[in-house]
Structure 1
Amino acid sequence: MRKKTELQVDSKAIKDLTNGNPLILKDTVVMPEASIEEGSLLHLVDKSGGYIATGYYGIQNKGIGWVLTRKEKEQIDVKFFTKKIREAAEKRADFFASEDTTAFRVFNGEGDGIGGLTIDFFNGYYMVSWYSEGIYSFRTDIYEALNAAVNTRGIYEKLRFDTNGQYIDQDDYVSGEKGEFPLIVQENGMNFAVDLNDGAMTGIFLDQRNVRKALRDRYSTDKTVLNTFSYTGAFSVAAALGGASGTTSVDLAKRSLPKTIEQFSVNGIDYESQDIKVMNVFDYFSYAARKGLKFDVVVLDPPSFARTKKMTFSTSKDYPKLLKDALTITNDGGVIIASTNNASFNMKKFKTFIDKAFKDYGARYKILEEHQLPEDFTVPHNFPEFNYLKVVIIQVMN
């Protein structure tokens, strides 16, 4: 029997919870003296003992747990999880029916009613990501529910919570047919190679699907494109398929070279005609400036935080400098695709970073497009702060 703990909610937080905010924060509840076990059900009440919601205890960077239901009698069991996953899959019916996209998000955590859990679809295979030990304790019920809700070819998983300070190097296979990797998936007709059993990453970030399409369809023809923090080169592939005259991919990770070559190859692109650099992006900016290199399009999609031997980088502090560095090697009239997945600030704040960078550099700009999470990355209604992705496509107006 799963433990249940009653927690009193601070009066100031009750309205948010009743309005649909799914996140339980430590400073909004009265914590008991005894420790709470990960995965325990939380019976949230007001100071009079009146019922507010039922959640689960699972510590992650956002809080101590998530609301699961606001119906006092509702049981948190296989039937509950099956209903949630089936409803989420039905919302993505158009994606399942698509002939040119075979990779997308089926279940987006709190946006689909279970915070701390995401489920991605890769050409028949499902990748389940667990973001706390608490939600992982429901693993047996959730896998039974997933198999009941959708037809699964095979299931893989990623443990994305802290396991004594390191990611568990484990076989990510769970059940069903074992995949042959790399697995080729399609996204708006583009091919991408993914590996569901290769550590923390798969080879592609699905939340950038619409941005890659925009780059391919509207900003690449006969353009030189620089893709910084390029990971496996997905933006470079989109640019090449869009008719770019040349792409340059820059990433510090040594494995970015073979992975980027692989992505070009599965699209029939001669990787030797593209430039792939394994080096620090900031060093590359200096190198390009010395060589007099300039680009028509620059893609900036850095990690929220990174540390090297020489420096640390944080998007919340250093994005204006990153943009200024990019401006030095962007052609007049060129385009910068500025992106961040840092959830600690919103789109309005992100635009202040852009404005500061251009003012400090002495250049004018025009915003051409804005993007946030695509439609399969559902976010809680009335709580836009969960829409973490911010992308602004900017034209330099020198």
Structure 2
Amino acid sequence: MNHVVELILKPKFVAEIANGYPLILKEAAESTNETIEEGTLLKIVRPNRKYIATGYYGKQNKGIGWVLTNDPSKEIDEAYFEEKFKQAISKRVDFYKQDDTTAFRVFNGEGDGIGGLTIDYFDGFYLVSFYSKGIYSFRDAIFAALKETTNLRGIYEKKRFDTNGQYVEQDDYVEGEVGQFPLIIKENGMNYAVNLNDGAMTGIFLDQRNVRLALREKYSKGKTVLNTFSYTGAFSVAAALGGAYETTSVDLAKRSLPMTIEQFSVNGIDYEQQQIKVMNVFDYFSYAARHQLKFDVVVLDPPSFARTKKMTFSTSKDYPKLIEDAIEITASNGLIIASTNNASFNMKKFKTFIDKAFKEKNKRYKILEQHQLPEDFATLEDYPEFNYLKVCMIQLLK
């Protein structure tokens, strides 16, 4: 059992933790005489030492840990994780029954009651992601509980926390069946090749499922589609299957070329009829503007932060300029799909970026629809800041 330390909250943070806020902020705790190790259980108390909650110590972004329960009698053991997993799985019964979608999120961190932990399902395989050393210390209990509550083929894991700058080449396989990769999963009837044992990424971002469906069903037929920061070309596949005249996928990573070819191929799409560019997206914007290229649909889904030899990009400060560049190469009445997973600002703020860009270019626009996290990515209704995904479908008006 993990060591237990008493953590005294500063008075102004008592109410939010008592009312269900899941993240223990760095500034919320009174200083402690003990050096707290990651994974230490926290007995969270008021300044008068009255119990509020039990959590664990694990550094992640702005926080030093997460609340696990408000029940002082609750043990944080295998049975605790089993209970949480059963509750999460019961919310996703309909996903398990679908034949045309075989990959989805089973457990979404604080939205399902355990911050710092996510579990994704890939056609019988479970991928467990740990976002701090703290939650990783519960690894054995988590895997035991997962085996007890699911009928799984195999388990893979990702350690998504800082290991003191040391990257260790590791096999992410844990136990069960050894996956044969690429594993072909289905999403709304589309095929996607994924690899659970090849670094941090799998080949697809499951949180964009509804956006890809909208692109395929509503906005692709007969259109030219530019997919920037395209990664493995998942949006391009959706567009091509939706009847796009042509797709162009642009990403700086050299691996994007073979991986995008693979995604087209597993869907029976002739990749040679599509454009795949390995280059800096901003260089491509300049190229397209010089050659007066116009696209009916432009997809913008950049990383929150990126650095190249030439420049540094941050969505929190550079997104308006990104949209401005997109406007220059979007056809009249065309569509810009603007997306970000940056949790540091909300949808309202994101829309100010959009408005700023269109005003700068003296153009009119209309937001046709917007998306946030899909239903399997459970979030806390009272704390919308944890619903990190923001997507707007923006029509460029004449």
Name the TM-score class by shorter chain. Answer: over 0.9
Question: Secondary structure at 1:362's aligned position in 2?
Answer: coil
Q: Distance in 2 between matches of 1:149 and 1:74?
A: 19
Q: Is residue 279 of structure 1 aligned with residue 269 of structure 2?
A: no
Q: What do residues 314-368 of structure 1 show as CA deviations (whole Å, max 9, x unaligned)?
A: 0000000000000000001000000000000000000000000000001000000
Cα offset for 1:167?
A: 3.9
Cα offset for 1:33?
A: 2.5
Residue 343 of structure 1 is matched in structure 2 by 343
Structure 2 residue identity aligned to 1:50: K
- How many percent of aligned residue pairs carry the same amino acid? 71
TM-score normalised over the length of structure 2 = 0.99
Residue 78 of structure 2 is matched in structure 1 by 78
CA contact (8 A) 2:26 2:62 kept: no
Residue 216 of structure 2 is matched in structure 1 by 216
Q: Distance in 2 between matches of 1:124 and 1:98?
A: 13
Residue 204 of structure 1 is matched in structure 2 by 204
Residue 138 of structure 2 is matched in structure 1 by 138
Residue 360 of structure 1 is matched in structure 2 by 360
Q: Is residue 49 of structure 1 aligned with residue 49 of structure 2?
A: yes
Q: Distance in 2 between matches of 1:165 and 1:360?
A: 41
Structure 1 residue ranges (4+ consecutive) displaced by more than 3 angstroms after TM superposition? none
Residue 316 of structure 1 is matched in structure 2 by 316
| Mean CA deviation greater in 104-113 or 14-23 | 14-23
Q: Distance in 2 between matches of 1:215 and 1:155?
A: 32
Q: How does 1:319-330 map to 2 (within 5 A)?
A: 319-330=319-330
Structure 1 residue identity aligned to 2:251: D
Q: Distance in 1 between matches of 2:169 and 2:393?
A: 37
CA contact (8 A) 2:82 2:146 kept: yes
Cα offset for 1:31?
A: 2.5
Structure 1 residues 213 and 167: CA distance shift in structure 2, 3 A:
farther
Gaps of at least 5 residues in structure 1 are none
CA contact (8 A) 2:155 2:176 kept: yes
Q: Distance in 1 between matches of 2:252 and 2:293?
A: 19
Cα offset for 1:381?
A: 3.0
Structure 2 residue identity aligned to 1:57: Y
Q: Distance in 1 between matches of 2:82 and 2:304?
A: 34
Q: What do residues 128-178 of structure 1 show as CA deviations (whole Å, max 9, x unaligned)?
A: 000000000000000000000111100000000001214432000000000
TM-score normalised over the length of structure 1 = 0.99
Q: Is residue 96 of structure 1 aligned with residue 96 of structure 2?
A: yes
Q: Is residue 194 of structure 1 aligned with residue 194 of structure 2?
A: yes
Cα offset for 1:23?
A: 0.2
Q: How does 1:241-320 map to 2 (within 5 A)?
A: 241-320=241-320
CA contact (8 A) 1:21 1:380 kept: no
Residue 14 of structure 1 is matched in structure 2 by 14
Q: Distance in 2 between matches of 1:109 and 1:15?
A: 22
Structure 1 residue identity aligned to 2:16: D
Residue 176 of structure 1 is matched in structure 2 by 176
Residue 3 of structure 2 is matched in structure 1 by 3
Q: Distance in 2 between matches of 1:339 and 1:287?
A: 23
Residue 373 of structure 1 is matched in structure 2 by 373
Residue 32 of structure 1 is matched in structure 2 by 32
CA contact (8 A) 1:159 1:167 kept: no
Residue 392 of structure 2 is matched in structure 1 by 392
Structure 2 residue identity aligned to 1:139: R
Q: What do residues 76-126 of structure 1 show as CA deviations (whole Å, max 9, x unaligned)?
A: 000000000111011000000011000000000010011000000000000
